[in-house]
């Protein structure tokens, strides 16, 4: 009789464990975040379980056709939001093509002046950007304190602060976005570098995140130790082009390894796709079919 009671107790414990760890996978649909392999640059697709979508950055002009193909393969023709983190060509280069081929509800950037460089190619990109993004009726500016609601997913802007820009450096003014789905958090650092990271640490004491999109493609100019210790991610994603000796930099990789942070890299893993659940669990799928990470 005692034994039977014990069995019953085991069964109840099993059910409790299952309800916490297993059942949410079946009863709750995941938030999907794809770090799309665009070679040089960033492009991140966010799909809320309710069907709302946001695209953050568009990679370079060269990667535009590939990115458009990827989105079409995902059966996407319209997106609720396009968010451009800053004005460098490896983030906004795909804008002209994407804006021709896809419909976006609202397009956001940080409002910093976009002026092309002296070469005709970058001057053309700047003028196309202004026409597609800034002069459209669906354009808005995001700064620290703003948030975009994507169904049950919240995109919170942590950087740059409002008002005048303190620097003209595009990277230092990158839009930093914290994505929250239930208690799961993903921190997207765009091309943030150390000087702004230090200010962000002061401005936002709670920077904890489960997944970190490493700043500035893993350059040693970003992702300082104090920053990593504050964020304490379990998993990191680096969007980088192949065979670049500086990005990601070995010092940054070493700091991530020292903290037992699982690292995915688009230059090695291809597309890196997360399915995230609200209870701080997730699965990862890459082109290399690495084992799922929970
Ligand atoms: Zn970049």
Domains present along the chain, CATH in parentheses:
30-286 (3.60.15.10)
| Euclidean distance between CA atoms 77 and 84, whole angstroms | 18
- Give the separation between CA 227 and CA 198, rounded to whole angstroms: 8
139/55 Cα distance (integer angstroms): 14
Q: How confident is the model at residue 291 (pLDDT cuts 50, 70, 90)?
A: low
pLDDT band at 2 (very low <50, low <70, confident <90, very high): low
pLDDT average, residue stretch 186-210: 97
Q: Per-residue pLDDT tens for 4-31?
A: 677 777 777 766 666 666 655 557 899 9
Q: Ligand 1 centre and the CA of 191: distance in Å?
A: 5
Å from CA of 168 to ligand 1 middle: 16
Cα-to-centroid distance, 190 and ligand 1 (Å)? 7
Query: How many percent of the chain have pLDDT more than 90?
Result: 85
Q: Residue 215 C-alpha to ligand 1 middle, in angstroms?
A: 9
Reported confidence tier of residue 294, pLDDT bands at 50, 70, 90: very low
How remote is the CA of residue 88 from the centroid of ligand 1, in Å? 7
CA of 85 to the centre of ligand 1 (A): 9
pTM of the predicted model, to two decimals? 0.89
User: What is the rounded distance in angstroms from the CA atom of residue 236 to the CA atom of residue 11?
Assistant: 37
200 CA distance to ligand 1 centroid (A)? 19
Range in 44-53, 114-123, 264-273 the model is least confident about: 114-123
């Amino acid at each position: 009789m005692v034994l039977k009671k014990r069995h019953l107790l085991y069964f109840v414990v099993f059910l409790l464990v299952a309800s916490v760890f297993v059942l949410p996978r079946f009863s709750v649909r995941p938030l999907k975040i794809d770090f799309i392999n665009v070679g040089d640059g960033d492009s991140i697709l966010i799909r809320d379980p309710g069907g709302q979508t946001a695209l953050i950055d568009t990679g370079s002009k060269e990667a535009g056709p590939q990115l458009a193909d990827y989105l079409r393969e995902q059966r996407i023709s319209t997106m609720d939001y396009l968010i451009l983190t800053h004005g460098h060509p490896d983030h906004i280069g795909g804008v002209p093509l994407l804006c021709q081929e896809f419909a976006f509800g609202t397009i956001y950037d940080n409002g910093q002046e976009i002026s092309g460089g002296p070469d005709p190619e970058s001057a053309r990109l700047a003028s196309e950007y202004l026409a597609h993004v800034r002069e459209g009726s669906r354009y808005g500016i995001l700064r620290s304190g703003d948030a975009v609601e994507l169904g049950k997913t919240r995109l919170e802007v942590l950087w740059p602060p409002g008002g005048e820009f303190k620097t003209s450096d595009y990277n230092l003014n990158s839009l930093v976005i914290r994505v929250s789905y239930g208690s799961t958090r993903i921190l997207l650092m765009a091309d943030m570098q150390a000087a702004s990271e230090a200010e962000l640490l002061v401005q936002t004491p709670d920077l904890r995140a489960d997944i970190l999109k490493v700043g500035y493609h893993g350059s040693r100019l970003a992702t300082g130790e104090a920053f990593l210790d504050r964020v304490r991610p379990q998993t990191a994603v680096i969007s980088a082009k192949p065979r670049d000796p500086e990005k990601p930099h070995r010092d940054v990789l070493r700091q991530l390894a020292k903290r037992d942070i699982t690292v995915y890299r688009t230059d090695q893993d291809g597309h890196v796709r997360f399915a995230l659940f609200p209870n701080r669990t997730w699965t990862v799928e890459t082109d290399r079919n690495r084992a799922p990470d929970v």
